[in-house]
Amino acid sequence: MPQFTLVAMGGTFDIIHKGHLTLLAKAFSISSDVIIGLTSDALAEKRGKKTLNNYEKRFDTLTNVIKTNFPNQHFQISKLDNDFGPAVLEENVQALVVSDETGNQGEILNQLRKEKNLSPVKIVIVPMVLAHDGNRISTTRIKNLEIDIDGNVSSID
């Protein structure tokens, strides 16, 4: 029996890697329903991220990855035009799944929920997944060809 009935998480999911899969696995392991906030193109640009894929492509890829890796799980993908999307307004959200890099977002979210007279959510922090070189796996490192999506270090001769 899952610990929660509804949890939220978010990300840009430009190149889906082992770190993303770990976050998704945690969310699906603790809840029967997951809301995933997917960063809009405008928000990604505002944050200074240069995505390889537009929102529609990232949405389709994320949907396929979830259906392949987490079959029969109930999820909803919601466009994020701000930092929190439905996690602020959805009264039934019980937890926010974040990486240790974004853990402080939980405190901000709970303050916003308090202002809207909603109960606070539990913050579930998932440790960053490390590449084989001991540094974290990130989309930036993958784009720079330092590592692949599994954290293997690229060998450039």
Instruction: Tell me the average pLDDT of the chain.
Output: 93
pLDDT of residue 156: 62
Q: Given a cut of 80, is residue 103 above it in pLDDT?
A: no
CA distance 73 to 8: 14
pLDDT tens digit sequence for 33-61: 999 999 999 999 999 999 999 999 999 99
**Of 11 and 102, more confident:** 11
pLDDT tens digit sequence for 115-131: 999 999 999 999 999 99
Q: Given a cut of 60, is residue 102 above it in pLDDT?
A: yes
Q: Given a cut of 80, is residue 68 above it in pLDDT?
A: yes
| Of 7, 27, 13, 10, the residue nearest 82 (C-alpha) | 10
Helix boundaries (H) for the chain: 18-30, 41-46, 55-69, 86-89, 105-115, 139-143
pTM: 0.91
- Please state the domain extents for the chain: 7-128
Q: What percent of the chain has pLDDT over 90?
A: 82
pLDDT tens digit sequence for 71-95: 999 999 999 998 778 777 788 999 9
* Domain 7-128 grouped into CATH 3.40.50.620: yes
CA distance 35 to 157: 43
